[in-house]
Every structure is written in C-alpha cells, then in structure tokens.
Amino acid sequence: MTKNHDEPWGTGAEHQAPAGPRQWEQRPEHPHPVAPAAPAALQPLVECPTCGKAAGDELSCQFCGQVLFLPRGITLSTAGLRFGGYLLEGVLIICTLVIGWLVWTLIVFQYGQTPGKQLLHMRVVHIPQARTAGWWRMAFREIVAKTIVGFLAAVTFAIPYFWLLWDRNRQELWDKMATTLVVSDREDRLRLTSSDGRVGTPQP
Ligand SMILES: [Zn+2]
C-alpha cells in the first residue's frame, strides 16, 4: 500500500490495494491524495467566453447562445427572430414587387445574408470554415436546399420548417445540408469575412 506511487499503473492502484478503512489518509508520502483522472466524458467542458458557464461540446453555448468558434457577442439567432425573418422576407418580396428583392438578394448573398437577415442583423455562417457563408453556399442553401426541404415539408405537414425548435444549434434542415448556422451579428463583426478570410478579428 505504501508503494502505490511506484506502481507502473499509477493512481489507479489505489482502488486495487486491499486498503483498510481510511488507511490512505495516513500515508506520509501522500498528504494530499490525488483523485484519479476523470474519464474523458466527465472532463470539464469549454467555458463560454460570454456567460462563463460550462458550454458543453456543442457548437454553441446552451445557456446564452454564444457561438463558441466565433468572436464574443456572436450568438445563435433566436427562434423568434428566425421566424420573424421569414415573415419579413415575405413582406419585402411583396413590397419590392419580387424583382427588387431578387436583385437585393443576389447582392447580399456574398455577406452570408438575405434582405430580411440584413435588416435584422443576422448572418449565415459556414461551420467548417468558421466564417460567413460565401455567395455560392448561400445560393445552394437558399435555392437548392430550401427547395428540397420544401418538397419534404409538403408531405409532412410542414414539420421540417420547425426543425430549429428542437435542434441544439437551432439549425433548419437546409442548415444541415449546407453545414451552416444562423447567427445574430448586431455589431457587424463578421462583415466582409467571406471574401478576406477567417473571422476572429472584429472590424475596426
Ligand atoms: Zn454562454
């Protein structure tokens, strides 16, 4: 028992020795016994830079919505804002007689936005690159992916449109297809990152 620290298998030996009750407390060479390392699944998780809580191993903090791979202050857009955005998009389409909205859309795709998202300070972020989605990814997301999900929704009582309500990162199915997140970027920190590289340095 007194040679535990010499055993090749290290601290785990404490559990294997036939120690008497409280005997480990009397070992002079271990005045402060070291607890065995926790299994990987129980290791402390990433601390959220915004709220300071253990944010888990998801893409975003489950408490405050901070996106963990983006600068502080960039949070997942709330479900209310997302659905509000859909409504706003419809209003804009009508008010601009479709064609205005279309031209506007093709311009702001490069910023990871649509007209509604631009007005609401929301942005689409490409997860693997940790930066604003570029023009072609936006085109795929808005046209191809939403069309496919639209067909799916037509035969499933529109349930796929509400996917973000139970998704941990508030992704819609078209977000899954395009590997994107929708974030709120109120201070425009992610501006222009689609053309000049990674995010992480707030614009001056
Ligand atoms: Zn947080």
Kindly state the percentage of the chain with pLDDT values over 90: 65
pTM of the prediction?
0.73
CA of 54 from ligand 1 middle (Å) equals 8
Question: pLDDT tens digit string along 81-111?
Answer: 999 999 999 999 999 999 999 999 999 999 9
- 3-state secondary structure string, 78-125? CHHHHHHHHHHHHHHHHHCCCHHHHHHHHHHHHHCCCHHHHHCCEEEE
CA of 95 from ligand 1 middle (Å) equals 38
Question: pLDDT tens digit string along 110-130?
Answer: 999 999 999 999 999 999 999
Question: pLDDT tens digit string along 1-43?
Answer: 444 444 444 444 444 444 445 544 455 555 555 555 545 455 5
CA of 55 from ligand 1 middle (Å) equals 6
Rama region for 170: left / alpha / beta (φ>0; ψ in -120 to 50; rest): left
CA of 122 from ligand 1 middle (Å) equals 19
Indicate the SS3 state at residue 140: helix
Q: How many CB atoms lie within 10 A of CB 33?
A: 12
Q: What CA–CA distance (Å, rounded) separates 178 from 7?
A: 52
In angstroms, the Cα distances linking 116 to 4, 30, 54, 78, 152 are 65, 63, 33, 15, 24
CA of 76 from ligand 1 middle (Å) equals 11
